[in-house]
């Protein structure tokens, strides 16, 4: 940890498994990856009590994001999704970290408010296309280190 903080770029490049991105919402997480095959609207698409995808047209319907790091290329759908995400985070039925390819306000605000209201920090990071594709392709666990808004995020493929 300390070494990475001192020189994160080189540490990552040397190991070939750390990627840099933008911090949309700070925090840290280490969990199994859940890559969404299609964009998901949390509102109308995710049950924040049961913690599962309920959109019947979504290819991963019935599956849970609880405790996972959600990887999603871009968001879609209703602006109510911020609330559903915040509620899922409050209930512990939501993702513990989020990796995006496009900056998404609605997802980010859900995580910001969960942090403001409940002190539950779910990091949201945004990666460029090539880094995002590497995350999508990587097997195993992910780790997100996104301590501060104005510094780069680190995503480790473990």
Partner 1 sequence: MLQLSERDQAMLAGEFGRGAARAMQIVARTAHVMSAPNLIDICSAHIDGCLYHGQASLDFVELFVEAGARVAVSTTLNVGSLDLIHPELYHGDRAVQSAAQRLMQAHLLLGCESSFTCAPYQLKNRPAKGEQIAWAESNAIVFANSVLGARTSRYGDFLDLAAAITGRAPYAGLHVEENRAGRIVLRVEAFAHRTSRDIYFAALGLLVGKIAGAVVPAITGLPDDTSEDEFKALGAAAASSGAVALFHAVGITPEAPTLDAALQGQAPLKTVDVALADLDEVRQTLNQGREGDELVAVALGTPHFSLAEFQRLAKILDAYEGAPKSDFYINTSRFILWELGERGLARAFEERGIQIVVDTCTYITPVMKKLSGLVMTNSGKWASYAPANIGVTVAYGSMDECVRSAFEGKVRFHG
Q: Any idea which residues carry the catalytic annotation?
A: 78
The site string for partner 1 over 106-145 (x = CB under 8 A, - otherwise) reads x-xxx-xxx-xx------x---------------------
Question: Binding mask 40-79 vs partner 1 (x if CB under 8 A, - otherwise)?
Answer: -x-xxx--xx----xxx-----------------xxxxxx
Closest by CA to 98, choosing from 20, 35, 15, 37, is 35
Q: Contact between 98 and partner 1 (CB under 8 A)?
A: no
- By the rule CB under 8 A, 19 interacts with partner 1: no
Residue carrying the six token digits 């070494």: 3
Tokens 């915040």 belong to residue: 86
- CA torsion sign for 27, 28, 34, 37 is positive
Tell the smallest beta-carbon distance from residue 10 to partner 1 (Å): 25
Distances (CA, A) of 60 to 15, 35, 53, 57: 32, 10, 7, 9
- In the bound state with partner 1, the residue whose beta carbon lies nearer, of 29 and 75, is 75
Altogether, the residues listed in the chain come to a count of 158
SS3 7: coil
The number of angstroms, rounded, from the C-alpha of 72 to the middle of its chain's C-alpha atoms is 8
**Residue of 12, 18, 21, 25 interacting with partner 1 (CB under 8 A):** 25
Exposed, middle or buried by CB within 10 Å (0-12, 13-18, 19+), for 71?
buried
Q: In this chain, which stretch among 3-11, 12-20, 100-108, 137-145 interacts with partner 1, using CB under 8 A?
A: 100-108
Q: Which residues bind partner 1 (CB under 8 A)?
A: 24-25, 41, 43-45, 48-49, 54-56, 74-84, 86-87, 90-91, 102-103, 105-106, 108-110, 112-114, 116-117, 124, 149-150
């Amino acid at each position: 940890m300390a070494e990475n903080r001192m020189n994160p770029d080189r540490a990552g490049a040397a190991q070939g498994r750390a990627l840099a991105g933008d911090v949309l919402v700070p925090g840290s997480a280490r969990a199994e990856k859940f890559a969404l095959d299609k964009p998901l609207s949390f509102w109308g698409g995710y049950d924040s009590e049961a913690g599962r995808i309920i959109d019947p047209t979504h290819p991963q319907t019935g599956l849970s994001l609880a405790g996972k790091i959600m990887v999603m290329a871009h968001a879609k759908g209703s602006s109510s999704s911020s609330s559903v995400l915040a509620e899922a985070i409050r209930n512990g039925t939501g993702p513990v970290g989020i990796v995006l390819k496009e900056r998404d306000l609605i997802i980010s605000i859900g995580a910001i408010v969960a942090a403001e209201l409940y002190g539950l920090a779910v990091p949201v990071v945004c990666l460029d296309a090539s880094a995002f594709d590497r995350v999508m392709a990587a097997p195993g666990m992910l780790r997100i280190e996104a301590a501060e808004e104005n510094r780069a995020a680190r995503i480790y493929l473990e």
